[in-house]
Amino acid sequence: MWDYTDKVKEYFFEPKNAGVLSDANAIGEVGAIACGDALKLMLKVDPGTERIENAKFQTFGCGSAIASSSALTELVIGKTLDEALKLTNADIADFLGGLPPEKMHCSVMGYEALQAAVANYRGEEWADDHEEGALICKCFGVDEGMLETAIRVNKLTTLEMVTFYTKAGGSCATCLEAIEGVLARSNEKMVAEGIIPAEAAFVAGQVEVSGVIRKPQAAKAPAPVSDDFVPLDIFNEEIRAAAPQPKLTTFQRIKLIEDVIEEVRPALQRDGGDCELVDVDGNNVMLKLTGACINCQLSAMTVAGVQERLVERTRLPIRVIPVKAPGH
């Protein structure tokens, strides 16, 4: 039996806004064939104000899929389309008091349905680029597709780097063997395609798994695989403790945030992407991803990476929120 929160149970047993919305003018239909989930989100949008006046859903899926869909409708009613688009799957999960890692894809489905519904309203074509596979790291909810993409795009060849990029295996470490398998398979394909040299490829069984468990590494950061990447040792308390503890004015804080964003831009630009600081509201940093970053499967990782760096540099609980348009 899943460890569902009371809120998930409440929204499954007594779902709000279930059913057909006959006067809907924005409809999003998404599904994940592997998981067997499918969601139809129906919105009634006021054309003048672009405010969502009503929302209903129909869901084919498990308890948490139904609860996530219902939570989504509660979250979007009363918001303008632009406000609603800022919602992420994490907001849906948070609204429900959390979801088991295996079930996070249910909240992703809600996020996608919302994107699809807004695209439908605006007469745009929405293409899903979310890939799913077997869940590998249960602690951080990282699935096989996400690992493969991270390994391929960043040319990762060690278990350690995979953990740095994706967090997978960074907590209980029971999935290290499974990560090794994905890494070895991906590297083998990459060697065959000439993406990495054969001698760089990871081969399972050639490192001591017991030695991979994270040890404090204050003195020596692991060798980066590409020169534009500086690993963030998010597991290393010593590095965090050693960082300066600034007392910043609002101006200094925003200036520092700007500086950090400027620092990460060259790395993004090298991959054909870019980002732009839109606004700072307290500890919320609104960031607009542009160029190749739009629709990039790794955009969530990019955002997480920028956030980690901001947190490290400012020593503040910064939250990076990806936004579509500058200002609103």
Q: Identify which of 29, 21, 15 has the alpha carbon closest to the alpha carbon of residue 112.
A: 29
Which C-beta is closer to other proteins: that of 98 or that of 100? 100
Neighbours of 277 (CB within 10 A): 18
Give CA–CA dist 217/43, Å, rounded: 51
How many residues touch other proteins under the rule CB under 8 A: the total is 43
Q: Say whether 35 is catalytic.
A: yes
Q: Is 163 exposed, middle or buried (0-12, 13-18, 19+ CB in 10 A)?
A: buried
From the candidates 62, 106, 137, 296, which is the catalytic residue?
A: 106
Looking at 83, 102, 271, 312, which residue binds other proteins (CB under 8 A)? 102
CA 176 to chain centre: 21
> Hey, which bits of 142-300 come out as E strands?
142-143, 273-281, 284-291
Q: How far is the CB of 258 from other proteins (least distance, A)?
A: 36
Which span sits near other proteins by CB under 8 A: 102-110, 214-222, 248-256, 308-316? 102-110
What Cα–Cα distance (Å) separates residue 293 from each residue in 83, 107, 177, 304? Answer: 21, 22, 31, 13
Looking at 52, 103, 161, 169, which residue binds other proteins (CB under 8 A)? 103
Which C-beta is closer to other proteins: that of 12 or that of 95? 12
Which C-beta is closer to other proteins: that of 120 or that of 314? 120
Q: Is 127 in the site for other proteins (CB under 8 A)?
A: yes
Q: Compute φ and ψ for 275, nearest 5 degrees.
A: -145, 165
Q: Is 288 in the site for other proteins (CB under 8 A)?
A: no
Q: Say whether 106 is catalytic.
A: yes
Neighbours of 118 (CB within 10 A): 24
Give CA–CA dist 278/305, Å, rounded: 17
Q: Is 135 in the site for other proteins (CB under 8 A)?
A: yes
Q: How far is the CB of 290 from other proteins (least distance, A)?
A: 24
Q: How far is the CB of 312 from other proteins (least distance, A)?
A: 33
Q: Is 130 in the site for other proteins (CB under 8 A)?
A: yes
Q: Which two tokens stand for residue 222?
A: 């692991």
Looking at 11, 26, 43, 59, which residue binds other proteins (CB under 8 A)? 59
Binding mask 11-40 for other proteins (x = CB under 8 A): -xx-x--xxx--------xxxxxxxxxxxx
Cα three-residue angle 150-163-320, rounded to 5 degrees: 70
Q: How far is the CB of 171 from other proteins (least distance, A)?
A: 17
Q: Is 136 in the site for other proteins (CB under 8 A)?
A: no
Q: How many CA atoms lie within 13 A of 30 on its CB side?
A: 27
Q: Is 280 in the site for other proteins (CB under 8 A)?
A: no
Which span sits near other proteins by CB under 8 A: 123-131, 151-159, 191-199, 298-306? 123-131
71-91 burial: b if 16+ Cβ within 10 Å, else e: bbbebbbebebeebbebbbbb
- Footprint of other proteins on this chain (CB under 8 A)? 1, 12-13, 15, 18-20, 29-40, 58-66, 100, 102-103, 105, 112, 116, 126-128, 130-135
Residues carrying an active site annotation: 35, 106
